[in-house]
């Protein structure tokens, strides 16, 4: 650089103005981890702060071919900045395809609770309407819809056994086929990506602290998020998304789930620890009850790797838009 007068002569046009904050953010939201609540907040925030909220109509395709990855990365990368892109999709490595790696954020929750929420949501929906589940899973037979959760777990139905219980880790591990195989390889790769590519992975059980940190790290996107979240009107809307007809499995069934989800729990505790370190660093105290003791894991028998079931994710976008227009 040799002074303004000769800069254009020597270097051509000046570089694009760099925005003074991360201007490319991806929230590759994990299903049944509070993502509808956060997307509802993002809709309000994008209007308020003027960033580009890019959503997807595709809710049940988390795994992509190489061409699909390239296509999606190209589409995201050319969005008007600052943007926040959100979709249920396993981690995408932008730099592998020559793109700028965006800042990633995500939220996870206790794996058994996430699984139970999904199990009953697929069958019975939530308070938005008792008939929603019929539209969402029309091909589900009545005996499957009313299948007792204990029977599903104890009798090893596919929906309640591996690898379909291996759900959270692939969102952080990525698109490699081994990311869907329950094991150390996927676990370690997911941890590495959390460290290298995620600005924040929060814990749903401590959502207010997650929102506080997002506001601190990404103010252009999340300024005032906590006051919006605590607004009684918003709280009322949030209650509509609570899954109905949940029942708690027997202790024996839960212990079996813990065994089957041992890698998910290793990951969950790792993320939780990182999250608490971050909270302490920024002076946030954890106002939570003493955690339950970690489950005693037994090494599961060798896990077969079959193609996991497609995520039966709901089409929330239209619903959220309707609510926001009211």
Specify whether the CB–CB gap between 105 and 201 falls below 8 A: yes
pTM of the model: 0.81
Q: Indicate whether 178 belongs to any domain.
A: yes
Specify whether the CB–CB gap between 168 and 30 falls below 8 A: yes
Q: Give the pLDDT score at 132.
A: 54
Specify whether the CB–CB gap between 303 and 162 falls below 8 A: yes
Which candidate, 95, 105, 141, places its Cα nearest to that of 29? Answer: 105
> Hey, what are 278's tokens?
């971050």
User: Quick count: other Cβ atoms within 10 Å of Cβ 90?
Assistant: 21
Q: Give the pLDDT score at 288.
A: 55
pLDDT (tens, 9 = 90+) of the chain, 326 residues, equals 444 444 344 454 444 444 557 899 999 999 999 998 999 999 999 999 999 999 998 878 999 999 999 999 999 999 999 999 999 999 999 999 999 999 999 999 999 999 999 998 888 876 545 455 555 677 788 888 889 999 999 999 999 998 889 999 999 999 999 999 999 999 999 999 999 999 999 999 999 999 999 999 999 999 999 999 998 877 666 555 566 567 889 999 999 999 999 999 999 999 999 999 999 999 987 655 555 555 544 433 333 333 334 444 444 444 444 444 44
Q: Indicate whether 15 belongs to any domain.
A: no
Domain count, the chain: 1
Measured CA to CA in angstroms, residue 88 lies from 77, 158, 168, 171 at distances of 17, 22, 11, 8
DSSP 78-125: TSPSSEEEE-S-----GGGGTPPPPEEEEEE--HHHHHHHHHHHHHH-
Active-site residue identified among 11, 49, 88, 220? 88
Q: Identify whether 88 is a catalytic site residue.
A: yes
Query: Rounded to whole angstroms, how far apart are CA atoms 263 and 205?
Result: 19
Q: Indicate whether 127 belongs to any domain.
A: yes
Q: Give the pLDDT score at 205.
A: 96
Q: List Cβ neighbours of 173 (8 Å cut-off, separation of 6 or more).
A: 90, 91, 179, 186, 187, 189, 190, 193
Query: Rounded to whole angstroms, how far apart are CA atoms 266 and 264?
Result: 6
Q: Indicate whether 124 belongs to any domain.
A: yes
Q: Give the pLDDT score at 322.
A: 46
Range of the domain at 85: 24-283
| CATH code, domain with 82 | 3.40.50.300
Q: Indicate whether 299 belongs to any domain.
A: no
Q: Indicate whether 325 belongs to any domain.
A: no
Query: Rounded to whole angstroms, how far apart are CA atoms 219 and 49?
Result: 9
State whether the Cα torsion 68-33-41-193 is positive or negative: negative
Query: Rounded to whole angstroms, how far apart are CA atoms 62 and 314?
Result: 14
Which candidate, 294, 63, 32, 259, places its Cα nearest to that of 161? Answer: 259
Q: Indicate whether 311 belongs to any domain.
A: no
Q: Indicate whether 88 belongs to any domain.
A: yes
């Amino acid at each position: 650089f040799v002074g303004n007068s000769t800069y254009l002569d020597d270097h051509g046009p000046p570089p694009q103005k760099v925005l003074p904050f991360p201007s490319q953010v991806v929230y590759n939201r994990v299903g049944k981890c509070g993502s509808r609540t956060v997307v509802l907040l993002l809709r309000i925030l994008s209007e308020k702060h003027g960033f580009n909220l890019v959503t997807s109509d595709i809710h049940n395709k988390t795994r992509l071919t190489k061409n699909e990855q390239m296509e999606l990365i190209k589409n995201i990368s050319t969005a008007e900045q600052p943007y926040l892109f959100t979709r249920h999709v396993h981690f995408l490595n932008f730099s592998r395809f020559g793109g700028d790696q965006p800042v990633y954020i995500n939220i996870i929750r206790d794996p058994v609770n996430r699984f139970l929420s999904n199990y009953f949501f697929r069958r019975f929906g939530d308070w938005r309407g008792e008939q929603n589940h019929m539209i969402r899973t029309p091909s589900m037979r009545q005996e499957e819809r009313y299948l007792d959760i204990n029977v599903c777990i104890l009798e090893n139905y596919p929906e309640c056994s591996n690898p379909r219980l291996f759900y959270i880790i692939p969102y952080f591990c990525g698109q490699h086929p081994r990311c869907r195989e329950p094991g150390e390889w996927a676990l370690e790769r997911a941890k590495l990506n959390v460290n290298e590519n995620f600005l924040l992975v929060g814990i749903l059980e401590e959502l207010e602290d997650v929102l506080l940190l997002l506001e601190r790290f990404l103010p252009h996107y999340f300024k005032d998020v906590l006051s919006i979240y605590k607004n009684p009107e918003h709280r009322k809307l949030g209650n509509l998304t609570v899954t109905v007809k949940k029942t708690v499995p027997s202790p024996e069934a839960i212990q079996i789930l813990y065994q089957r989800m041992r890698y998910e729990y290793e990951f969950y505790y790792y993320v939780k620890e990182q999250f608490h370190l971050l909270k302490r660093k920024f002076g946030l105290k954890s106002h939570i009850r003493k955690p339950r003791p970690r489950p005693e894991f037994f090494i599961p028998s060798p896990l077969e790797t079959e193609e996991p079931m497609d995520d039966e994710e709901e089409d929330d976008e239209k619903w959220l838009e309707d609510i926001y227009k009211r």
